Each structure stands twice: as C-alpha cells, then as structure tokens.
Amino acid sequence: MIALAWLIPVFPLLGWAVNAFFGGKMSKGISGAVACLAVLASFAVSLGVFFELLDAGEHAHTVHLFSWIEAGNFVSNFSFLIDPLSSLFLLVITGIGFLIHVYSTGYMKEDEGHNRFFAYLNLFIFFMLLLVMGDNYLLMFVGWEGVGLCSYLLIGFWFKNREYNNAARKAFVMNRIGDLGFIIGILMIWVNFNSITYSEVFAGLKGMRTDDPTLIAITVFLFIGAMGKSAQIPLYTWLPDAMAGPTPVSALIHAATMVTAGIYMVARSNILYTLAPTGMEFVAVVGLITALFAATIGVFQNDIKKVLAYSTVSQLGYMFLGLGVGAYTGAVFHVMTHAFFKALLFLAAGSVIHALHHEQDIRKMGGLKGRIRTTFMVFAIGTIAISGIPPFSGFFSKDEILAHAFNHSPIYWLLGVIGSMLTAFYMFRLFYLTFFGKFRGHEDPKHPIHESPPSMTIPLIILAVLSVLGGLVGIPHLFGAPHLLGDFLQPVFSDSVSRMIPLSLSHTTEWTILAITLSCAGLAIYLAFQAFRKKEIIPPASEKEMGVMSRVVFNKYYVDEIYNAIITRPLDKISRFLSLVADPQFFDGIVNGMGSLVRWSSGIIRYVQSGYLGFYIFLMALGVGLILLFKIYL
C-alpha cells in the first residue's frame, strides 16, 4: 500500500477538478458526494499505509515520482516521505477532513455557492497532504503556500460581504510575513547543506557543534514561518478574524489543516532544533506567551466562534511549548487530540448557530440543553476534553506537555497550569451561557429551534467518541500502561531524544504536579459554575458597563488597533502620498522629462540625417580637421 501512497493527494485533487469544472452541471447532492468520496478514498489509502507501516521493518519509505527541478547544482525531486509522523498526520487530515466534508453537506445545503465550496475544501485537503508528504522543504513549501491560498478563498467565501473579504485579505497578508522567514530558512538550508531533502540535510548535521549560529538562525527563521501559519504572537490576529468563513471552514483550518502546519514543520525538523537549544528556547517562550495571552482574551469574548478561535491560538501555544521543551511526541499527541475535540467544538458550535438561524452571540443564547440535546451532549464532551479532565483525550496530551515543561523549568510549568486553568474557565463559561439558564434570544415562530439533521449530528457523535477515547493511545508510564503513540513515533524522534536530557521526574513528583493541575482545572470549573450556572451572570451588553481591565482584555488588548496605528495607517499614508504627490509630481516628472529630453534631442539630432550630400562632406571635412588639431596640439 505504501507504493500507492501517491494516490492519497490525487483523490482530493480529482474531487476539486470535478467540482471546479463540472460542478455547475451537477446537483448539490452529487457535488457533495464527489467531494466526500474523494477524501474518504484518501483516508482508506492512508489507513492501509498506516497498517503497513506498523508491520514494516523499516520506518521511513521514500516514494519517488519524478525529477522535479534541476538547475545547476540545485536538484529537487517530487517524492513523498512515508514514516510514522507523516502517516499520523495523513490519518488526521483525511479522517477529520472527511467528517467535516460530511457535516458540510448538511450545513451548506442551502448555499448558492455549494459546488464552489466543496471544490475549495478538496483543494485545501490536497495541499495539506502535499505539505506533510513531501520529502523535502521545497515541496513542503508548495503545500504551505497552497493551504494559504485555500484559506484565503474559504475565509472570503461569502465575498459579497466586505468585512469577510477584509478578513481573508488579513489572513493572506499576515501569512506572507511569516512565509518570508520560512523562505529565508529554506535558502539558508540550501546554502549550508547544498540540499533541501530532509534525509540529506539531517545527515549533514553530523559534526556540527551544538548551538552553531547557523543552526540557530535556520531554526528561528523556520519558526517565523510557523508563527504566521500557526497563529503565534505577534502574527496571530488573522485567526480569530478567519471566523468570517463558514463554520466547517473554521473546523478544517483549526483542527485538520492549516494551523497544524507549523507544528508539523518544527516536529519534522526536530533534530535541527535539538542541536540548536537557543532556537528551541525561542519556540518555547513564544508558545508559552501565546498560550497565556490568548487564554485571557478567550475569557471575555462573547462570540461563540471567537471563544473557540482564541482557544485554538492558546492550544497551539501549548503545542509549541511542548516542542520547545523537547516533548516532541507530546506536541504531536496534542495535535491529534486537539483535532478531535476542536473539530467537535467548532462543528457543534455550527449546529448551535444553525439552530438559532445564524445567531453567534452567547449573551443571546441559553436554555438550549433540552432543545438540541445531541449538540448539547457532544459540546459537553468537547468542553471536558479541552479542559484536561481525565480520562478524556485532552488530559493525556496536555499532561505530557506539562510534565516535560516542569522537567525543563518549573516556571514554564506554573505558567502552563495557569493557562490550563483559564482554558477550563472560559470553556465552561461558554458551555453554561449557551446551554443553561433561560433562553435570551429572539425566537421566530416560523423557524423554531431544532436539532441539526443526521448529516451534521453523526459526524459530531463520531468526533465525540474520538474525544473521549483518543487519549488512550498515549497513557503516561506513570499509570503502568504502554505509550502506544510514543512507541510508534519513536523512530522519528530517536536522534533528538538521545541528545536531550531525559524526563527524570520521580513518580511522587509526577503525581504531585498532576494533582495540582487537576485541582486548578477543577477550581476553574467550579468558579465558572458559580458565576454562569448558579448565579446566571450574563456578560454586560455594553463596554461602558465593564471595568478598565475587563474592557482592555475584551478589546483584545487593542493589538489590532496598535497594528493599525503603527503599521497599517502609516503605510496607507505613505501609499497615498506616493499616489497623489510623489507619483504625479516626481516619478511622472522624471519619466515624462526623460521622454521630453529624448524627443528634444532627437529633434536636434535629426538634422544630421538631412540627406544632403554637401552637408555630409562638410561634416566629414570638419571631422578630419578636428582630428588633425587633436593630433597636433595634444
């Protein structure tokens, strides 16, 4: 089956082609079915590849397709690398992607751009698969840019709305800033290793000293790319605005595709980072700050999707914290569990929005527990899972990251626990305000609140099961059970693990930090219960009713306004000056002046070409005379 791995990205590409070129001639049902079957076929092959990889003696296989670029010394093949890391991501992308496709058939049923939507979804899956399957940084970059393009198309899917277009443009521009760092990192890899293929680059690391300045620079520039794609400080503001796209798009971006690209890239380059501890520290610090910063914002948001969006930014911060402290398996583990419960939460939020006819403000919800019971149940599971409560999936992956953080620095661990507390608080705040108390919205008798159709609820139920059981593949050794995921990924990270300080916490210490973490999460849930379930406190309708600090956090620390003040507006003013003043009066003057000069000079010189023989003889004699004078006197 590994030899047929090239089929995995081909199926979604075919699905895109069919919907893009023939979608207008097909019914919505057939269009959706084509898109779903394309991703399902990819999932089936990915599953076959996964099981063959489990049985194979060798853990890394290269599927060479053709020679791609040859220019001088630069050679790049179009080849796929199939190993445990890429295999795991293939299952997540195609598995979660398929469920999101099925859900979309119900959610987008009435949309006039139905066929176009599924064409974009298939293309999104194709580029993400290309990103994780490539055996070199250039092919990864092609997928990297492809998912950026697709996110732009899907965030601005409802392009008649100017606000949505601005959100799409913002995502596109901010990602290009990060991409510049990624390009510089790839160029530095090529210059220093004379190759961009993973195996050749990693083999070229032998003999390099730890924390070589070149390695530090490469890892930092690569990570700048990840900061854009995976929404880390300071390049995170595009992700909450990306909620402008349809809800299934949010689920796809946040759970299975785009934002996990940065995590994959750093995990794939793990040996580079291990040999550059300064670069790792940079990753850990940025991740930790992002996790805390975004969690505080999530506490004060009232848009159901924006709470989840800031939650994603925060959870991605946890993943980078894990990568930065050497918990490579833990970070990838959290990618997987996060894909389960974040896809579940976004799609469940979509079900709520669907039931309330596009209402997204949780202040206008409440009392939905008994009216959309399936959505309520799965949302509860997702909330418990992301809050890190055992035995749900989020507990195991988050605990692994926090244990490594403690091993690296107790301060990192403490800040991580505070972030975890905030996560539990804002998620249960969201849960209680949405489903408990009295209904606070406007109910239209012609369109009563109702549960979503099976095409939407069945994917939710499957994701809920995964959110409950998904963590069992990574049970800590503390519990005496095998860490199946760690054993599976061991060949990918073995070189790095052998060079790092091992996790050396005693069982007493592990039990202690585990008890503290759970107690903090329990306290946060209790506070949320007291405030939003028992006392039924409703967030204020106006900013004027908030305190100063609450208003600052509610406005997301005014980061967007600061960016507008120090970057966007000055650039707009410079552009306006260049357009209205410098361009017409200076640059146009230079260009027009050059034209006038040429026209004037040609008008003078044209007399030389008069056609009169006598004039030519006169010039010839004059020239001979000047040459003689030159020879005589000089």
How far, in Å, CA of 131 to CA of 145, rounded? 9
- Between CA 360 and CA 364 the distance in angstroms is 8
Mean per-residue pLDDT, 180-191: 95
Cβ count near 200 (within 10 Å): 13
Do 402 and 513 touch, CB atoms closer than 8 A? yes
Lowest mean pLDDT among 306-315, 347-356, 495-504, 621-630: 495-504
Across residues 155-167, what is the average pLDDT? 88
Cα–Cα distance for residue pair 334/503, rounded to 1 Å: 18
Confidence label for 57 from pLDDT (cuts 50, 70 and 90)? low
Q: Do residues 221 and 214 lie in contact, with contact meaning Cβ atoms separated by under 8 Å?
A: no
Give the model confidence (pLDDT) of 523-564 as tens digits. Answer: 999 999 999 999 999 999 888 888 888 899 999 999 999 999
Share of the chain above pLDDT 70, in %: 100
Task: Tell me the average pLDDT across 486-491.
Answer: 92
In this model, does residue 195 exceed pLDDT 80? Answer: yes
- Using CA atoms, how far apart are residues 94 and 39, in angstroms rounded to an integer? 6
pTM above threshold 0.75: yes
Summary mean pLDDT of the chain: 92
Report CA torsion sign: 163, 168, 173, 177: positive
Cβ neighbours, 10 Å, residue 14: 17
Per-residue model confidence (pLDDT) at position 335? 95
Amino acid symbol at 86: S
Task: For 422-474, write each residue's pLDDT tens digit.
Answer: 999 999 999 999 999 999 988 777 778 889 999 999 999 999 999 999 999 99
Mean pLDDT of 307-332: 95
Q: What tens digit of pLDDT does each residue of 246-301 get?
A: 899 988 888 888 899 999 999 999 999 999 999 999 999 999 999 999 999 999 99
Model pLDDT for residues 59-114, shown as the tens digit of each residue: 889 999 999 888 888 888 999 999 999 999 999 999 999 999 999 999 988 888 89
